Amino acid sequence: MMASNKIMRINEDIKRTLYDLLKNVKDPRVGQGMLSVTGVDTTADLRYARVFISYYGQVDEKELLKGLKSAAGYLRRELGRNLSLRYTPELIFEIDKSIAHGAHINKLIDELGIGDEGN
C-alpha cells in the first residue's frame, strides 16, 4: 500500500512539473493548441512514465507526438532537476482523447436540443 501511495505522489509531482515545463518547449509542434497533462502512470521501478496529454484546438496529433518525443530528453532532464527522485523515468507520451470525446458528446447533445430546460 505504501509503495502505491509513493507512486501516486510521484505521478502527481511529474504531472504538475511537466505541465509547467511544456510551456518552455520551443518546438512549434508542441506549441500548437492548448496542452494539458491529464495523467501520469509511472512503473513501480520508476524506469518509465506514461504521460497522457490532452489538447484543445486544432492539433496535428502525429506532429504533436513527434515534437513531444523530440523534447523528451529536455523534459526528462528538467524533471530530474526539479524533482528529487533516485531515478528520473523515461517519458512515453500518449494522447488522452477523453476531453475531445467529451466535447464531441456535448456538441451532439447541443445539436439534438437535449438538456434544454426551457422547452
Q: What is the pTM of this model?
A: 0.80
In whole angstroms, what is the distance from residue 60 CA to residue 63 CA?
A: 5
All three cell numbers of 105, joined, read 458528446
DSSP state of 46: S
Beta-sheet strands, E only, within the chain:
34-42, 48-56, 90-95
Class of residue 42 by CB neighbours under 10 A (exposed 0-12, middle 13-18, buried 19+)? buried
Q: Which domains can be identified in the chain, with CATH numbers? A: 2-112 (3.30.300.20)
Of residues 55, 88, 56, the one with CA closest to residue 72: 88
* pLDDT by 10s per residue, the chain, length 119: 446 888 999 999 999 999 999 988 988 888 877 888 999 999 999 999 999 998 877 788 899 999 999 999 999 999 999 998 888 999 999 999 877 778 888 888 888 887 655 54
